[in-house]
Amino acid sequence: MTDIIQLLPDHVANQIAAGEVVQRPASVIKELIENAVDSGATSIQVIVKDAGRSLVQVIDNGCGMSVTDTRMAFERHATSKIRTTEDIYNIHTKGFRGEALASIAAVAQIETKTRKEDNEVGTQLIIEGGEVKGQDPVVCTIGTSISVKNLFFNVPARRNFLKSNQVEFRHIQDEFQRVAMAHENISFFLHHNDSEIYHLKAGNLKQRISQIFGKKLSSQIISVEEDTEIVKIKGFVGKPDAAKKSRGEQFFFVNNRFIKSGYLHNAIVNAFESLLPSGYNPSYFLYLDIDPSKIDINIHPTKTEIKFEDEALIFTILRAAVKHALGQFNVTPSLDFEQDPNWAFIPSASEEDEIKMPEISVDSSFNPFEHHQSRAPKPSDIKANFDFYNDAVELEIENNHAHQLFESEEIQPDKFEVIQWMNQFLVVEYRGELLIIDQHRAHQKILFEKFVRSNHENALVQQMLFPIEIELSPNDRQKLINVESQLISFGFDISLDEEVIQINAIPVDVQQEDVVSVFMDFIEELDYHDTIELNQTFAKVLAKNAAVKKGIGLKVEQMQTLVEELLKLPNPNFTPYGRPIFVQVNTDDIKKTLD
């Protein structure tokens, strides 16, 4: 009988390994930067073209490699970090398995130039698809430069799975930030298509946070520090008022290695207890120093997951450290019984002061549903100084209870009577059924459909008398640069400085007081959206912010117009975010309840 089991050729084995280690250009960035850190470099430069498709180059001023080491570095399981089994449990460096360079070389064209300090000339090694094409002496500076060209050139199926340049470069930024955050004592530079994206000078941790996420954030974080026999903790957490709906600015590092841990994230959230609004997440930049023998970092190809020997105890210590920091900086509510009674921290009114009742200013003659030439109705124009009910009553309906009545037919609604309930819901009898409609969600759907269908080239624009300025982190600035043309097509006129966006004009459907929230929502939505999705993404954000809010009283004709516009839509059942817009109650249900 013929034997059927055989060893894989090296180039096939390397391509299989590359499937785990090299998922996209960002994976190459991560591995090469980490190698540069391990080389003792004090300056690391990253050059990227076409979001890493054409070129990823990492240049460092580290120790460099000898002629033999340069060749051996690209062999599978060749490493300078491990000699015995015991070394696996005493890892202090980034890479150690010796898989990365061999895996990258299997699916790309690589040129390496490197020189050690005590050598007069360096060595150049060229590899294509895992095959060495040549190695020759070369004149170069001390350190190492590795250029990875045409990633996945020999695996076209893998190349086709890459996302748009915008998405792929966002992943590159993520990996770059994570390594830079872990090594604030090293200077990092990132260039993309000949544009400088980051120029991070060596400094302390707070300076590095400021360099990456903007100066504004550095004033919104407080220090965390705890030293125990189990774990040493240092870093920063954001104040409650700096919390966001997104989970972007959240970093855990264990022994200067970035990790992901939902379990430890819950420790931070628990420490904040009732300080955060529902749905918001705190920012944090936390560094844990643990005995390497007490953790296992060898459970995932990208080494972003770690097993702890005593996870529950670390959870408790971390939560206590964050709670202590919040209390120490008077972020958590407290009563200070030792406060100087002569310090009147609550101002009191004098007997002569006249006490006035608070007032709300509303223009009762204004009709936001009134049609003006080519403009659509604008319930978003009605504003009050606050929401009366916030989220007093939420419509959470199972999909099987919200019948899809209006999906396929074009509605020509008759005149019907509409009443407003709790300044939040519109109640109307329609075709023998009772509809309870969420006014904010209904208007959001109407505006969304309008924005999607509208011709953006002819968008109506209103100039700002006083331009609005919003502080931006370098990250957020880059996101807006990538989509500036789409913003202009929607009616925004913006100017981007180094840390500030100036908004000079906005679409007519957006109110001035909503501009900041619109742009914050834009930035949060831009993380992982392809360009093809941007128009719908912008339409969703604009509709959500421009829609009439809960707690706003509407006139009869306004309610009538809103219901009519909603029921004319081909699918009025759900908002662009997938939330139900109305509840239907039929006569039979009422009779059954009352019987």
In tens, the pLDDT along 496-534 reads 876 788 899 988 878 888 888 888 888 877 765 555 567
**DSSP code at position 279:** T
- Structure tokens, 407: 């999906």
Dihedral of CA atoms 54, 60, 62, 65 in degrees, nearest 10, equals 30
With beta carbons less than 8 A apart as the criterion, state whether 77 and 98 touch: yes
How confident is the model over 246-296, as pLDDT tens digits?
Answer: 666 899 999 998 988 888 988 998 898 778 777 788 899 999 999 888 887
With beta carbons less than 8 A apart as the criterion, state whether 406 and 569 touch: yes
DSSP 289-327: E--GGGEE--SSTT----EETTHHHHHHHHHHHHHHHHH
Strands 195-200 and 187-192: antiparallel
Contacts of 8 (CB under 8 A, 6+ apart): 16
- Determine whether 455 is exposed, middle or buried from the number of CB atoms within 10 Å of its CB (0-12, 13-18, 19+): exposed
With beta carbons less than 8 A apart as the criterion, state whether 105 and 130 touch: yes
With beta carbons less than 8 A apart as the criterion, state whether 268 and 319 touch: yes
Residue 375: pLDDT over 50: no
Q: Which of 204, 150, 197 is nearest to 172 (CA)?
A: 197
Strands 418-421 and 425-430: antiparallel
Q: What is the mean pLDDT of residues 476-492?
A: 82
Residue 134: pLDDT over 70: yes
Dihedral of CA atoms 545, 551, 553, 557 in degrees, nearest 10, equals 50
Instruction: Output the pLDDT for position 157.
Output: 85
Between 295 and 114, where is the model more confident?
A: 114
In percent, the amount of the chain with pLDDT more than 90 equals 33
Q: What residue ranges define each of the domains in the chain, with the CATH number in brackets?
A: 10-200 (3.30.565.10), 207-328 (3.30.230.10), 379-586 (3.30.1370.100)
List residues bridging with 420 in a β-sheet.
Answer: 426
Residue type at 191 in one-letter notation: H
Instruction: Give the pTM.
Output: 0.64
- Structure tokens, 203: 């400094």
Instruction: Output the pLDDT for position 88.
Output: 53
Strand, coil or helix: 12: helix
What is the rounded CA–CA span in Å between residue 129 and residue 5? Answer: 25
Instruction: Output the pLDDT for position 401.
Output: 39
Residue 457: pLDDT over 60: no
Q: What is the mean pLDDT of residues 157-165?
A: 87
Instruction: Output the pLDDT for position 532.
Output: 52
With beta carbons less than 8 A apart as the criterion, state whether 154 and 168 touch: no
- Structure tokens, 33: 């930067």
